[in-house]
Structure 1
């Protein structure tokens, strides 16, 4: 019989990994900034139109946009914090990258708890270095 279990992918911190992680966050920050600019552009256009026709709706839209601004700002702060964390990673330490589901074969006589314990895959610069049974 085959069952699913968690497989943790870890990576050894190298300069390449740090650069890749930071680049991903920097790209996300750029996308967030572009999204914020587009929202502001649409907001200004919509508010000009609504202020002339429906003040109640204009106030409701303003509240929605303010909530979205706060959400976007929080996302930006979280990304900037992650960037700082990546800068502080120590070389040659192991960090978790992702969790996947893996399959494990079980048979009568197997210790189920041992089989269902997690497994790890260790990477260095995207190359598998080691498989670990926990």
Structure 2
């Protein structure tokens, strides 16, 4: 066998522009709003469940409280992470390249190919347009 096709990860980088910063801020603010809505829903559901279980004198009250606290903590941590990302966006400078994600793509490898050349691939985008493939 002289060649094989494999799937490899390709980094996607974005050039920071004012438009990109605005889009990122909007996405993060939507994520924060979603976390707040989930927290509110959890609190309402928890109150209702605890009230019902307390009236029934159920032994599950403590387990429900613990589950609620765990769910609440998870969402509060997510919200804190989003707030931290929001701060980092303000520090980004225009023209700077930032990692936006990864995609997977096939590549054919032949005998004698450079392994570094196979793995080190990047796509650079600016305002949603591919400006470089390297």
TM-score, normalised via structure 1 length: 0.91
The aligned residue for residue 85 of structure 2 is: 82
Q: Is the 8 A contact 2:17 2:95 kept in 1?
A: yes
Residue ranges of structure 1 left out of the alignment (5+ in a row): none
SS of the residue 1:8 aligns to = strand
The Cα shift of 1:118 comes to 2.0
Q: How does 1:1-134 map to 2 (within 5 A)?
A: 1-111=4-114, 113-132=115-134
Question: Given that residues 124 and 132 in structure 2 are in contact (C-alpha distance below 8 angstroms), is that contact kept between their aligned partners in structure 1?
Answer: yes
Structure 2 runs not aligned, ≥5 long: none
Q: Provide the TM-score with structure 2 as the length reference.
A: 0.91
Whether contact under 8 Å (2:53, 2:61) holds in the other structure is yes
Equivalent pair of 1:12/1:123 in contact (CA under 8 Å): yes
1:56 match: secondary structure: coil
Deviation at 1:104, TM superposition (A): 1.3
What displacement does 1:55 show?
Answer: 4.3
| Bigger mean CA offset, 56-65 vs 118-127 | 56-65
Deviation, 1:75, is: 0.8
Q: CA deviation at 1:74?
A: 0.8
Moved over 3 A (4+): none
User: Aligned-pair RMSD on alpha carbons?
Assistant: 1.3
Q: How many residues align?
A: 131
